[in-house]
Structure formats: C-alpha cells, structure tokens
Chain A
Amino acid sequence: MGETTFQAEWKKGSAELLILSLVEARPRHGYEISKLIEQRSRGAVRFHVASLYPLLYRLEHRGWLAGRWVEKDGHRRRRYYRLTRAGRKVLASQLRGWSEFVAGINSITEAENA
C-alpha cells in the first residue's frame, strides 16, 4: 500500500500523539497499539513494525512511556507500555495544541467555503 507524501508527513507529526493517547487508559502491547490505530482510523493510518517499535523505544527513552514484560498464564510474555507521569503531561499539552490547530484550520477552511 503506497503512501502519499502528505500522509507520511501527517503521520510523523501526529504519531507520538496517537500512541500516547492509546496507552492513556491502560497499558497495551505493540501489536495492540498498531491494530487500534488501524481500526480507529478505518485503515487510513497504519504503522509498520519498522517505524512503530523505534518510535516506542524513543518515547520510552524520553521517559514518556514505560515498557514492562508481562507474563500471562499459558501465553508467551509480552511487552506492555504504559503512560508515565511525564508522558501524561506531554499528552495533555499535545492534545491542547492539536485542538487549537484543528480549530484554526477549521475556521480558515469554513470561512473560505462559506
């Protein structure tokens, strides 16, 4: 599946926000995160392994996520990522920035199309 340049840029900017908001409610493992992104965007946004895991490690390195191996009975162990206190702050500010940005875009496009 090919990506347009626009999509690639858009993903880069919002990827962090997407991942942080997905683990806000509860810890999730990598595959779960990628699947949720794909489902909730109805297939519009997809992260490949080659970009998802480096990003997770980067967020973990910054101290926004904390990864932990969790073993469940009868299953192989999985690495779960949860939002840290610092990550929660970043998420809040990114969400704020995002809604201001969307509101700004909307007011421009609505004015042009009115």
Chain B
Amino acid sequence: MRDWKPEILRRLAPLKLSPTREAEIAEEIEQHLDDRYKDLLAEGLSPDSAFRAALDELKNEDLLARNLRTVESELYREPLSPGNASSTLFAGILQDIRYSFRMMRKSPGFAAIALLTLALGIGANTAIFSMMNGLMLHTLPVRDPGSLVQILVHYPGDPEPGFSDFSWDAYQTMRDNNRVLSDLIVGSLNVYEVSAHGVEAQNIFGGNVGETFFEGLGVRPAIGRFIGPQDIATSAPVAVVSWSFWKTRFNLNPDIEGQKIITNDKPLTIIGVAQRGFYGLSNQAQQEIWVPYSLEDPKSSVALSGHLRPGVSAEQARADLAALYQTFVDRPNTNPFFRKNVVRVIAAGNGISTPVSQMLSTPLKVLMATVGLLLLLACANLAGLLLARGASRQHEMAVRVCLGANRARLLRHTLTESLLLSVIGSAAGALLAYFAVGALIQMFSSGRLMVGVPVRFESLRHLDVRVLLFTGAIALVTGLLCGAAPALSPSNTTPASALQSGMKIGETKRQRLFGRSLVATQVALSLVLVSMAGLFVGYLSHLRNDLGFERNNLLLVTLNFDHSNYNAAQYAQRTQELVRQLNAIPGVRSATLSEMSPMEGPGASSFAAAEDHPEKTTPVSINNIAPDYFRTYGTPLLAGRDFSARDEGGSHAAIINESAARDCFGNESPIGRHITLSHITATTGEKTYEVIGVVGDAKYNDLDQPAPPTIYRNLHQEQNLGSQLAIRTKVAAGGVANAVRATEADVLKNVPIAGMIEMNDQVDATIVPQRLFATLSSGFGALGALLAIIGLYGLLAYTVARRTHEIGVRIALGAESADVMRIVVRDAMWMICAGLAIGAPLAFWGKRIAASLIPDLPVANQLPIVIAAAIMIGVGLIAAYLPARRAMRVDPLIALRYE
C-alpha cells in the first residue's frame, strides 16, 4: 500500500484549512488514489508506473489548491477556538450566535428559566404599553394638536375628571369674552342610529357640532360644504359625514350631496363629506357623522374644546374661563349643582376624555410602573444567573484567552448570548402580550356600563410600529443590562491564575459583592411589588366589605314593567303579593322592592333642608323603597322605625341615613322632625317629609366614595313603580333563582324579568380598575417573589458548591452540622436584610406615588410592607434550605479530595 498522504497534504497546505477539514479532504482523496492505483495494477501496469499514473490525478502542484480555494473559503471558517482574534468587530457574529445556541442547548434548564423570566417581564411590559399606546399616545390628526384642550366642569368629589357640559349661553359668554383661546370649538361625542335608503340602521359615533368645528380643527371638505352659522341659527336638518362613511355606506358615490339619511328618527340631508382620515375628537370612538348643534332643544348642552393661544398655559386658561363661567352660574335660578362645579382645562391632543380613557388611564400608569419594576427584577435575576454561570466558565474563558482569543471578542460573545436570550424572550413575550391584552380587555368589559357613550375597547388592541419599537428597545436594553456584568467579569480573568487554581477559581471580592448586591436588589424590588400587591388587595377587600349592606347571598332581580297592563295601584298590590310569596320560598330569608339597588348606576338626587335651617341645603341621594328594605339588605336601623303598610295615605314619611342626619340636624335627634327636598332629579317642585327613622350609612353608587347622605322615601307613598327586587337568601343566592322566576311569572303577568344578578357581581362590576390592580399586582408580586427565590437559591447553591472544600475542612476540624447550616443561612439572611433595608423606603415611596394617583388608598397602613417583609424572609429561608442541607451533608473525605 502506497502512502499518498504527504503528496496530498503538501498540495493542501497553502489553503490553511482547519485540521479537521484538512484531514477529511485528505482521507477522501487518498482513497481515490488508492482505488485508482489498484485498478491500474489490475490492468497489468507495474507498481511504479501505476503509482505515477495515479499521482497524475493530482495534476500539477497547485491545481488542487486553486480549485479548492474558492469553495473552501465559503465553507468551514470555524477557527480553532471561538473568540479567536479577528480583524473586524462584526466578523464572525454568526459564529457567536451559533455558539450561543449551542450553549443554550447544553444547559436547557438555565435557558428555560432565563427565557421564561424574560418572556414574562417583556410580555407584561409590552401588553401594558400597547394598551397605553392605544389609549393615550396617539395624537389626533387635527390642526395643532399640541395646543388643543378640552374644557370640562367637575363636580367636587366626583371620581371622574368631569364632563364637557355647558349651556349655549355659557358657551357664548366664554367664546366672546375669553382672552386665552384662539378658538372655541363645539363638538360632542354621541351615538346615533343612522339609516338611509339601502343602508341598514346602525349605531355609529357622531357629534353635535358648532359652526367652527371643522375650521377650528383644520379639516377641509372632500365634497360639498361644512356646517355653517346659518345651519345653527335655523337648526337646519343637515349632516356632514366622514370619508369612511361615504365609502362604506355610499360606495364613494359622487352624488352624495343631497342624499337623505335618517338619524335618530330624524330625516337629514347630507351636505358634505369631511376630508379623508378625519374621524373627530377621539381615538377610541371614530366619529362618522356630524350634525349641527340644535338651539331648538333647550335642555341640550354643548361640549367644548379649543386651541390655547401661543404662550398661554392650561392653568391660565382655566383661571380665565372659570371666571367667565362664574358670571354665568351666578345668575338667579341656576341649579345649585352648577354653582359647585369647578372648571377644568385638560390637554386633548390625544383625544377628548371618554369613559374608556377615564376608567383606564390611571390604572395603566400605575401598572406600567409596576411592570417596569418587574422587568428590572427580571434583569437583576438573569444577570445574577449569567454571572454565576460566567464564574463557573472562567476556566473555559481562560483556556480561550490562552489559545489567542482577544478580550473584546469574548466580551462581545457574552453580550451576544444575553442579547440572544432577550430577543427570543421578547418574541415569546410579544406573543404573550397579545393574549394578555385580550384577557385584560375581557376584564375591562365586565364593568358596569357608563352613561352616555358605550365603552369600546377595540382601540386598545392596537399593535403598531410604536409597540414593536418599544418591545425591541426593551429587549435591547434588557439584553445589555443582563449581559453587562457577566460580560465584564470574564475579561478580568488572568488566565494563568484561573488555570492554575483549578477548581478553586474564584471570584474577586468585588465580583462576589456584585453577585450579592444583585440578589439584594431582587429582594428589594420584590418587597416593593409584594407590598404593593398587599396594598391593593387590602384596598379591594375594604371596598368590597365596607359597604353598609351585606353583599353575600343577595339576589337582585330587575323587572321590566314597560308593557304591563297594570295601573299604579294594581302594580303596587301585585308586587306586595309577589314579595309575600317570595318570602315563602324555602331558603329565602326576606325580600323587598325598591326603585333602585345600590351600585346599580346613577340614581336620583336632590337638595335637603332641615325644618329649622331652610337656608342650609345638603346634597342628598334618593331611593324609594318598600318595607323590609333594610332588613333584606342588612343595613342596621339605628333609631325610629321602618316603613309599614300603615304609612300609606298618611303624611309623607322618610328614613335618612347617619350622614344625612348629621348634615341636616347635627347632634339633635331627627325623629319626628321635618325635611324639605328641592331640585329632585328631573323635577322642580319641593316636598316636605317627616323623618321616621335613621339607618346606618350605606354605599349608594360609588364604592370608592364615602357613603353619601341618603334619604329613603316610601315607594308606595310616592306612587313609584319599583323595579328592583332584592331577595336575601339563607343558601347561595343562585339556588333560589328558578323558584324566584317561577313565582314572578305566576304573580306578575306581562312583567318579564329584565335581569338577574347577584349583589356580589353587581359590586364587582363597579370596581373593575381596583380588581385589575389587585389581581395583576398580586400576580406580579408573586412572580417577583418567585424570581427573588430563584435568584437567591441560585447564588446560594453556587456558593455552597464553590465552598465545598472549605466546608469539608471545617467539618473535618469538628464543626457541627448546625454550624455549617448557620454559615449558609447567615449568608442568605445578610442578602435578604440588605434587600429589605433598600426595599422598605422604596416601598414606602411607591405607596406615596400610588396614593397620589388613586385617591382613597389606605396609605397610612404600614401592614402591607411588614407582611411583605415577613414573606420575603420566609421565602428566603425556603430558598436557603436546599443549599444548606447540601452543605450539611458534605462528606469531608470527598470534599478534601475535591482539589
């Protein structure tokens, strides 16, 4: 057998291939030559001539290398060791990525934890940000959105920012006399039912607008003309529609002008189409139709916005407009409610405030801050994990440095690894966010409907370039943050010492301190998250339970008497019979009828004056109730008596709650005294009542407001047809639902049940943002605590592994297992206590910020922080348990051989 190798290798040498590749090619060609040689021998050639003929296959000296060069230069560029010095910064980046993937495959547990951590952190951020983006970061496509403001009136104590609700007179006063706005625009957000010939009736958003609406917003007509002063003056039956309305309903028919449409049962003529892309004053409700403000309807109000003059601040504008508004409400015969109103001027460049933005903007800001903390925690966690792993790979790094890897390359390689993790994590996070937003929207939609404008959440499900950029940016920042510490630490390595000391390769004191401070940071951040969760959960439970009535086992039934044939007397008689029969159903404790139930929605209100002080009026809420109302709802009767059948026909009687008693009568007993109500909702007359009882305060309509002064009137005396049945049960409220339905259908003919809900659900529907806070912050708190445990456990386990030798020596010298355990636990407690010391002020400060956004939050209570600290210590000990046990079980003989 001939040896071809030297011949082949000599020809391959100029290519400088990697040893493995070179050997592979040589082996293949060697075999070829061998085969050829044997064939030539078989053909009868002498060994020498066969050898020469076979060698002839290689042709001249450099042909093989020349032919191979172009192929091999594209292939197998892998150098001896990853991290080899290369000429440019970005050379071999693919190789780094490939290598990172290989490392991930090698430790799938680590990769899984890291990716999950990042996916959750980045996913939560993306979800909340995409909702914020849809809600408040989109600028309206109108002229000069930066100076666009909305003018509102706010009733003190009202949790919502206010309503843009002015009379035409007030508008004219402000328009003609203000010195702060360059224009004042009349434009509201309403819903209209619109139909036309060949166009199906549909509810769409639209607005009542004044003559300067389009001009003020810098919109031009695509066709026809806009609403002008003469349309307002004559209350002309005309409408302007949006470009998309023209396209979808009229297929861009050029003869749109003069077409008739029916809007809220009123025939209107289309006079123009607004320019393409204009959809009014809100990002959440795209307006499709605009009709002139009608002077004919004396009750209708106008919604106002406008552009600030250059150099005028919102506060200056507010002061000027408030003074003008004051001159208007100071006129005689103004509803006293208006006198209390405060004018507000708020920025409207991102759209006027709508129920959606009112409900969600504060929760989203708080949640954004929370998920930001969570991401920071995830970064600290991952940095800790990477650092510990980096320390255990110091040997490998040292080998690479010895083999000629340059340090910039090693640094880049470590960063590539963490960036790759964060990129994959963000992709998973974005997917997670998509579903999370869906779930959140579902939660929002479970809320009580608001008056006026239907709530539409579609705009929140809005993934655009901005959201993608945001996710990309946090992925980058996260990757750099997580990777920076471990990336810098291997480059400190002095290869000689790292290789020399074998197993004991150690961190420097600085690195050790850094690792510990990362864990302390995690403890601190999770203390903040857990204490916030405690705060919100406590607040929610306070809201749910401090009601003034008993919410469990209470079934509410709404009756629809619109189509009944009963007159008032018959209805009263039948409903009394119904209540009597409901009381007889097994499992029912008591039943009652009232005009409304607590938390049902806006109720009636009025001003009350006590008989001795007619000049002093108190705003009060009103409910009309049948006997047994308080017994059924579980509100205590403090003095006097409940209504009874004998009140009917007698003088007008009323029961008031504690707040109303205090406001009207001070410390005197109200029983037997008289109270006069004026400006009862939608009426003008006055009525005087004799107070026959005082009951405990109960929430009326808003859980997060104190119970308002309330006056209860006798339903039957007021000739009121109560529609709310309340049934207190001994068993779960749902258990009697069928019996209630059957009884109701039997007693009240033609009065269907319009709705049935348990009080618990009705209460929950009013506190969606608070429930959201409590649920999400609990989730984030738990997640934060979990991450901190992982971080602490990881570091302790790593420390114990590294100190096995030392622990072995200690045990050999007579240390008890309790002593060994103490070493580990003390280590853990140091980190936890440091974390708590940093976290407690942060938590305290965070609570202050949350309280500034959410009024009524119980900030004085320090219990959540204390509980959270206890939880952190508890979970810290759990995290320390496994490493401590492992340390206790160290066998000194094995440990000493470790070296």
Within 8 A of B (CB), among A65-114: 76, 78-79
Decide yes or no whether A10 CB sits under 8 A from chain B: no
Say yes or no: A34 contacts B32, CB within 8 Å.
yes
Decide yes or no whether B167 CB sits under 8 A from chain A: no
Within 8 A of B (CB), among A41-68: 48-55, 57-58, 61
Say yes or no: A50 contacts B35, CB within 8 Å.
no
Q: A residues within 8 A CB of B39? A: 35
- Residue among B25, B56, B57, B68 having the largest count of chain A Cβ atoms under 10 Å: B57
Say yes or no: B59 contacts A61, CB within 8 Å.
no
- Shortest C-beta distance, A88 to chain B (Å), equals 22
Decide yes or no whether B94 CB sits under 8 A from chain A: no
Say yes or no: B35 contacts A31, CB within 8 Å.
yes
Residue of B nearest to A33 (CB): B32
Decide yes or no whether A30 CB sits under 8 A from chain B: yes
Say yes or no: B68 contacts A54, CB within 8 Å.
yes
How far, in whole Å, are A31 and B33 apart by their CA atoms in the complex? 8
Given known A57-B68, A58-B71, contact A49–B58 (CB-CB < 8 A): yes
Say yes or no: A53 contacts B25, CB within 8 Å.
yes
Say yes or no: B32 contacts A57, CB within 8 Å.
no
- Shortest C-beta distance, B30 to chain A (Å), equals 9
Say yes or no: A50 contacts B31, CB within 8 Å.
no
How far, in whole Å, are A35 and B33 apart by their CA atoms in the complex? 12
- Shortest C-beta distance, A58 to chain B (Å), equals 5
Say yes or no: A57 contacts B72, CB within 8 Å.
yes
Given known A30-B28, A61-B74, A61-B75, contact A49–B33 (CB-CB < 8 A): yes
- Shortest C-beta distance, A93 to chain B (Å), equals 22
Contact with A along B827-850 (1 / 0, CB 8 A): 000000000000000000000000
Decide yes or no whether B67 CB sits under 8 A from chain A: yes
Say yes or no: B75 contacts A57, CB within 8 Å.
yes
Q: B residues within 8 A CB of A34? A: 32
Say yes or no: B36 contacts A31, CB within 8 Å.
yes
Within 8 A of A (CB), among B41-76: 56-59, 63-64, 67-68, 70-72, 74-75
How far, in whole Å, are A55 and B68 apart by their CA atoms in the complex? 8
- Residue among B28, B31, B58 having the largest count of chain A Cβ atoms under 10 Å: B28
How far, in whole Å, are A22 and B717 apart by their CA atoms in the complex? 105
- Shortest C-beta distance, B43 to chain A (Å), equals 12
Q: B residues within 8 A CB of A76? A: 31
Given known A53-B29, A54-B64, contact A48–B58 (CB-CB < 8 A): yes
Given known A30-B32, A31-B35, contact A50–B71 (CB-CB < 8 A): no
Given known A31-B32, A31-B36, A53-B25, contact A48–B57 (CB-CB < 8 A): yes
Say yes or no: B68 contacts A49, CB within 8 Å.
no
Say yes or no: A50 contacts B64, CB within 8 Å.
yes
Q: A residues within 8 A CB of B33? A: 49
- Residue among B64, B71, B75 having the largest count of chain A Cβ atoms under 10 Å: B71
Residue of A nearest to B75 (CB): A61
Residue of B nearest to A58 (CB): B71
Say yes or no: A50 contacts B63, CB within 8 Å.
yes
- Shortest C-beta distance, B154 to chain A (Å), equals 70
Q: B residues within 8 A CB of A55? A: 67
Choice from B28, B36, B57, B75 contacting A50 with Cβ under 8 Å: B57
How far, in whole Å, are A29 and B63 apart by their CA atoms in the complex? 21
Q: A residues within 8 A CB of B28? A: 30, 53, 79
Say yes or no: A49 contacts B72, CB within 8 Å.
no
Choice from B36, B59, B71 contacting A57 with Cβ under 8 Å: B71
- Residue among A31, A51, A78 having the largest count of chain B Cβ atoms under 10 Å: A31
Say yes or no: A31 contacts B58, CB within 8 Å.
no
Given known A53-B25, A53-B29, A54-B64, contact A48–B36 (CB-CB < 8 A): no
Say yes or no: A49 contacts B64, CB within 8 Å.
yes
- Residue among B31, B32, B63, B70 having the largest count of chain A Cβ atoms under 10 Å: B32
Q: B residues within 8 A CB of A78? A: 31
Say yes or no: A50 contacts B32, CB within 8 Å.
no
Q: A31-B35, A34-B32 are in contact. List 6 more A-B contacts (CB 8 A).
A: A31-B36, A49-B32, A53-B64, A57-B68, A57-B72, A78-B31
Write the residues of chain A forming the contact surface with B, with a CB cutoff of 8 angstroms.
29-31, 34-35, 48-55, 57-58, 61, 76, 78-79
Write the residues of chain B forming the contact surface with A, with a CB cutoff of 8 angstroms.
25, 28-29, 31-33, 35-36, 39, 56-59, 63-64, 67-68, 70-72, 74-75
Q: List 27 A-B contacts (CB under 8 A).
A: A30-B28, A30-B31, A31-B31, A31-B32, A31-B35, A31-B36, A48-B57, A49-B29, A49-B32, A49-B58, A50-B58, A50-B59, A50-B64, A50-B67, A51-B63, A53-B28, A53-B32, A53-B68, A54-B67, A54-B68, A57-B71, A57-B72, A61-B71, A61-B74, A61-B75, A78-B31, A79-B28
